[in-house]
Amino acid sequence: MQLSTDQLLDFYHLMVKIRSFEETLGSLFSKGLLGGTSHFCIGQEASAVGVVQGVRDTDWLVSNHRGHGHLLARRLNVYRVMAELLGRETGYCFGRGGSQHMCSMDEHFLGTNGITGGGIPIAAGAALALKCQKSDSIVVVFFGDGASNQGTFHETLNIASLWKLPIMFVCENNLYGMSNPVKRSVAGGGKVAPRAAGYAIPAQTLEGRDVELVWKATREAAERIRNGGGPELLELMTYRLCGHSKSEPRVYRTREEEDQMAKLDPLATFPKRLLELGCTQEQIDDAANSARKMVEDATQKALQDEPGDRHVALSGVFAEEEVSK
């Protein structure tokens, strides 16, 4: 199946929305309007959009600490995502979760996760439930190169393979686990895909900044998994053009390296590709401008909202009854 012009423009719209959302967060931080910390995916938008748009809306997503791209690629309400980050009661989780602990069951988004590698077994558990329930949905779990060094990654790949779970492991390899480069943290040359061979899981390493390529590979893998083929792993090579969190000084890499990588920024390369594919400059500008406008409006609206009260802070520790999915 080929992507239509409308779909391609929509992908670009989503990628700009993610970039604009995080740039807005940066400015809210510098104005002191946002507390805590946050992990941006600036430069990694193509892998988020390609994967999330490559599966069905009824497939389940599990994300990690760097999840804004995944949330917005699944088309969660930008205003409610922003409200959650701003700690407002109107956020998806009443302001209790924030960036690293956000969930929307209505959108089949099982949550971002603040523990590196923590979401991987949870995703396998969700896949086990789907298998028990004889569902035709699958689970997609995002993690970084750093998480592939956690025990949960290895344990879960082993179990998912043994049990033939309907799960897609998506490693966004951005070359750094916080400050630690993959060459010094991922043995054997810094690639994660070869690790899957030890668990008899098919894996491929792809250029993660090519949204079309990611979309196509995801679609194909998803159908194989859906048809009972067992888990697969996609390693998407990418680069975070920002620091690990907020505005850290990036002492672990050179500005020259960053300049080289900036040339591969999907938000710089994709508009050229769209022109080649026959989109007009006006269409491209419209896709970008509408995305920025959505973020701007959502931010203004969320800023007006109130934070939760003492009741919101202290209730909800225990459930009175089961919440059916």
Partner 1 sequence: MREVFYSKAVNEALDEELSRDSSVIMIGEDIGCYGGAFGVSKGLWEKYGAERIWETPISEGSITGIAVGAAMMGMKPVLEIMFMDFVALALDQMMNSAGKLHYMYGEQVTVPMVLRTPGGAKGGYGPSHSQMLSNLFVGIPGLKVVAPSTPKQVKGLLKSAIRDPNPVVFIENKRLYPQKGEIPEGEYLLPLDKAEVLSEGTDITLISYSSMTPVCLAVKNALQPHGINLEVVDLVSLQPLDTDTIFASVRKTGRVIIVEEACLTGGVAGEVSALIAEHCLDSLEAPVIRVGAADAPIPSSLDLEKFVLPQADDIVQAVKRIREWA
**Residues in the site for partner 1, rule: CB under 8 A?**
60, 62, 91-94, 96-97, 101-105, 110-111, 113-115, 118, 120-130, 132-133, 151-152, 155-156, 158-159, 162-163, 316-325
Taking the complex as a whole, the smallest distance from the CB of residue 64 to partner 1 amounts, in Å, to 13
The smaller minimum CB distance to partner 1, of residues 161 and 218, is found at 161
- Cα–Cα distance for residue pair 98/116, rounded to 1 Å: 16
The smaller minimum CB distance to partner 1, of residues 107 and 212, is found at 107
- Cα–Cα distance for residue pair 69/293, rounded to 1 Å: 17
Taking the complex as a whole, the smallest distance from the CB of residue 225 to partner 1 amounts, in Å, to 16
The smaller minimum CB distance to partner 1, of residues 162 and 262, is found at 162
Taking the complex as a whole, the smallest distance from the CB of residue 278 to partner 1 amounts, in Å, to 42
Taking the complex as a whole, the smallest distance from the CB of residue 39 to partner 1 amounts, in Å, to 17
Burial class (CB in 10 A: 0-12, 13-18, 19+), 27: exposed
- Cα–Cα distance for residue pair 290/224, rounded to 1 Å: 35
**Beta 180-181 vs 203-207: how paired, if at all?**
unpaired
The smaller minimum CB distance to partner 1, of residues 130 and 279, is found at 130
The smaller minimum CB distance to partner 1, of residues 255 and 318, is found at 318
Contact 182, 236 (CB under 8 A): no
- Cα–Cα distance for residue pair 127/141, rounded to 1 Å: 10
Tokens matching residue 287: 């896709």
Taking the complex as a whole, the smallest distance from the CB of residue 316 to partner 1 amounts, in Å, to 5
Taking the complex as a whole, the smallest distance from the CB of residue 209 to partner 1 amounts, in Å, to 30
CA dihedral over 183, 185, 187, 190, signed as positive or negative: negative
Strands across the sheet containing 232-237: 60-62, 139-144, 167-173, 232-237, 203-207
The smaller minimum CB distance to partner 1, of residues 40 and 92, is found at 92
* Amino acid at site 137: S
